[in-house]
Structure 1
């Protein structure tokens, strides 16, 4: 029985709904919210300070889970997957900085 730290969905004017997935099964979960934020670092710091549990991206908390500061409560259930797109003008205008950033993000997400 834990309080939740929710992430604010400004586009819809409400908190993101909690849903866990395993294969084709989806499990919506109702939570009691203690804190709501629209800032990922604030959510992580609140969780680390004991304010409640949060649904966060695995790659954003890998270090904290590895060193025992956070615990993955439901390792067999994941959050909804989301698409991530890099949008920029046509390839002829792709600068070295943009190319380097896109390659960096692709390498980071390849570990996920």
Structure 2
């Protein structure tokens, strides 16, 4: 799962490579790269936990669809609609708890982002 984090970081470094060579890694550029690393770490953490979060949400709303191997795209869209409808309309507390979990997951990254004063 760390491949996602590495891929994000290498992408940002590749975008900044030309400017790094020209500026000899100045203070401001170093700050931006550190901020970009925090953002990619946060995104990677969310992506890593997204599949397990969806399965926890499906268990919470008691959604157990029957899947066929040769199902059409319309059937998959219909199942996704039923899942969203059941989770948002019938059991909002499951979605709220999912958001609380996500917020608690990214709180350290937000604190580090604020500490680095990336938007200032």
TM-score (normalizing by structure 2): 0.24
Higher strand share: 1
Report 1 or 2 for greater relative contact order, CA contacts < 8 Å, sequence distance ≥ 6. 2
Greater fraction helix: 2
